[in-house]
Amino acid sequence: MSRALRRKLAWIAAGLFCFVAGWALPGWGGLAAFALAYAIAGWEVLWTALRNIARGEVFDENFLMAIASLGAIALGDVAEGAAVMLFYQVGEWFQAFAVGRTRGSVAALMDLRPESARVRRDGREAEVVPEEVRPGETVLVRPGERIPVDGVVLSGLSALDTAALTGESLPREIGPGENAASGCINLTGLLEIRATKAYADSTVARILALVEEAAERKARTEAFITRFARWYTPVVVVAAVAVAALPPLLAGGAWGTWVYRALTFLVISCPCALVISVPLSFFGGIGAASRRGILLKGSTCVETLANVRTVVFDKTGTLTRGAFAVTQVRPVGMSRERLLEVAAHAESVSTHPLAAAVVRAWGTSIRAGAVTEAREVAGQGVRVRFEGHAVLAGNARLMASAGIALPPADEPGSVIHVAVDGAYAGSLLAEDTPKPDAAEAIAALRAVGVRRTVMLTGDGESAARRVAAALGLDRFFAKLLPADKVAHVEELLRETRADDPRARLAFVGDGINDAPVLARADLGVAMGALGSDAAIEAADVVLMDDKPSKIAVAIRIARGTLAIAWQNIVFAVGVKAAILVLGALGLANLWAAVFADVGVCFLAVLNAIRALRLR
């Protein structure tokens, strides 16, 4: 509990003590105790109301409570005036406590910023604040410490806890040459990291800025509540004046009775339940998503996500790994293992992605000195001598240049042909394979009511068809340039709106090469954005890990958040409307009005906090 909340609680306790004493003391002593209780509980409200009036902000909840409580005292009921203030302050304390707990949960969740950084300068270690680390400097990160800035590992092996960024509980192994993102916790070994960015441009700084900005970007529902509160309060004040004045003037009613009803009307009408609980619902939803490695750039994204009915995917790096893997080995005249061994040793001299895939498929270390006379033929493959044999490994053009006949083939993916001593020895098929959870992601999207799943890719027709069939996508478009992708998204937008004017389209890409399409869609979602500046800047929703299945999770959280916000709106407006009628008819007094106001607000805030726990 914060110091301010503890201090406020002490004042409330003192006021309650005086209030109880007022009932125990006789005559003027009791009256003085009630007056002291009112002063203790009400001075802050009265001062705030006067200050706001001086600024031209007349109609707020402080004004309503001040008028109602002073009116009760003017009618001769000091105890009731003190009760109004005390119960109001108790409700305000519980609301502040609940809001503080919610904000504290989000703050703890996003507590990514390290307190200090240890850098090597002039041969010595120096401890500085992260903002003072310069690109190119060597940063030392010990086990248990948080990485202060983005960089590349120079030395050391360790495991990184990326849970605060990605929501993943399993640590990620890291070693020399690999990128280390700021905000991750080093778990096991000492790491030396060369800083590649200043702190202001690092992943952790950008994420923290996004979380802060998210609270300021209001959804339409929040904006409606803000506008509603601006005209609602003046209207109820006018209505209260009418309740106080019209019956005595027109029907000869007792002034005291109708003024009392008007004061009750004012207390009931406080819109604090709406003003507090609805923004808190969205804030809680944003926090719930952040805990799972999903960054939502404001409440507007929550509303749009909740209405997504079409999801369009880029292929490479989004639904597929973005890296080749050998999926078939077809030997001719030798064993499968021998073909893999020959191909891997031959391709070990090349830096081409296909060559790297073949070496990975072999899975055993390359024997030193086994490959000689290596020569890489640009755009074709490699020529080497392996264990005294002349080996060719590459595409059909390399085989044709050596006069080696190939078997007929028409398959998606890239084929690496192998020849040994002028004779065809077989082939390997390498493909960009789907991510492990890609098929699960498509099924999960259908489960949450997404009507269309579409893939756009620049790859060939056969490769695109194979991936679409494997994942269960509804449609795909292949051989597309970036401009073609934008045109297809615009057409899909029209189709989505034709089905339902409220339906929205989300485009999911890597955030680097798909900026035009991300901007054109109703909602841009960047995948695998850990450490990617372009992804964080381009998209509305940022998935900090590489899992497309998180999209359905984000949609579920968004819909749950929106449902909680509307529950609070309907509950608060419905209960207040009913009690306003009872107050105007004289069936609810000031005590009931305060209980109704505080109770409605407290229950709405508790409901809003549920958004932080959405699953």
Annotated catalytic residues are 314
Q: Could you tell me where the DSSP H helices lie in 25-133?
A: 27-54, 61-74, 78-109
- Is the CB of residue 505 less than 8 Å from the CB of residue 308? yes
Question: Would strands 414-420 and 389-394 be described as parallel, antiparallel, or unpaired?
Answer: antiparallel
Report DSSP state, residue 436. Answer: T
Report DSSP state, residue 184. Answer: P
User: Amino acid identity of 347?
Assistant: E
| DSSP secondary structure letters along 142-157 | -TTPBP-S-EEEEE--
User: What is the per-residue burial (b if ≥16 Cβ within 10 Å, else e) of 382-393?
Assistant: bbbebeeeebbb
d(CA 312, CA 104): 36
Q: Which two tokens stand for residue 379?
A: 């755009």
d(CA 611, CA 438): 27
d(CA 596, CA 602): 10
Report the candidate in 201, 184, 202 with the shortest Cα–Cα distance to residue 141: 184
Q: In the beta sheet, which residues pair with residue 158?
A: 174
Which residues are CB-neighbours of 586 under 8 A, at least 6 positions away? 257, 261
Q: Rounded to an integer, what is the distance from CA 140 to the centroid of its chain?
A: 30
Q: Given its phi and psi angles, is residue 19 left (phi above 0), alpha (psi -120 to 50 degrees) or beta?
A: alpha
- Looking up tokens 């051989």 gives 479
Question: Would strands 158-161 and 124-128 be described as parallel, antiparallel, or unpaired?
Answer: unpaired
**Length of the chain as a residue count:** 615
User: Amino acid identity of 366?
Assistant: I
Q: Indicate the SS3 state at residue 117.
A: strand
Q: Which two tokens stand for residue 605?
A: 């805030």
d(CA 442, CA 319): 10
d(CA 315, CA 235): 55
User: Amino acid identity of 71?
Assistant: G
- Looking up tokens 């960047």 gives 526
Q: Rounded to an integer, what is the distance from CA 301 to the centroid of its chain?
A: 9
